[in-house]
């Protein structure tokens, strides 16, 4: 064994592990935490919220005819695939006149939400 090989081996192993860890993180589309904008879904737009991996809290605007009504939603989420979370919960307009329970599917790409679909 050449002098210095004993020092290089742990360094090379650590460097290899770091590269593997970075590659694994880059391949993950669903974040463990996200706060910011979410895509419009159905009659809801201007959506912002916080995703914690298991919960999703949203605020946005429902479009009802010519009226814009603030609304909020709370959902319990689970991973459905490597790019989607399935969130069960409900939304409610601040005026109390509309709301629904259902399933919200959030599609993620690179740690950001890129699409949402809501079904009752």
Q: What is the mean pLDDT of residues 38-44?
A: 94
Tokens of 25: 């993180």
Which of 47, 27, 29, 31 is closest to 39 using CA atoms? 47
Chain mean pLDDT for the chain? 84
pLDDT band at 8 (very low <50, low <70, confident <90, very high): low
Domain ranges across the chain: 1-29, 34-119
pLDDT in tens, 48-95: 999 999 999 999 999 988 899 999 999 999 999 999 999 999 999 998
The distance in angstroms from the start CA to the end CA of the chain is 68
Q: What is the mean pLDDT of residues 32-51?
A: 96
Q: Tell me, what's the pLDDT at 17?
A: 42
Q: Tell me, what's the pLDDT at 25?
A: 43
As a whole number of angstroms, the distance between CA 52 and CA 117 comes to 19
């Amino acid at each position: 064994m050449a002098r210095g090989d004993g020092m290089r081996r742990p360094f090379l192993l650590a460097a290899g592990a770091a590269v593997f860890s970075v590659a694994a993180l880059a391949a993950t589309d669903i974040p463990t935490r996200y706060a910011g904008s979410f895509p419009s879904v159905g009659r809801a737009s201007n959506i912002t919220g916080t995703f914690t991996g298991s919960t999703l809290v949203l605020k946005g605007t429902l479009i009802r005819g010519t009226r814009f009504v603030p609304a909020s939603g709370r959902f319990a989420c689970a991973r459905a695939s490597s790019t989607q979370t399935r969130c069960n919960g409900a939304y409610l307009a601040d005026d109390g006149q509309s709301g629904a329970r259902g399933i919200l599917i959030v599609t993620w790409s690179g740690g950001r939400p890129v699409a949402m679909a809501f079904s009752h």
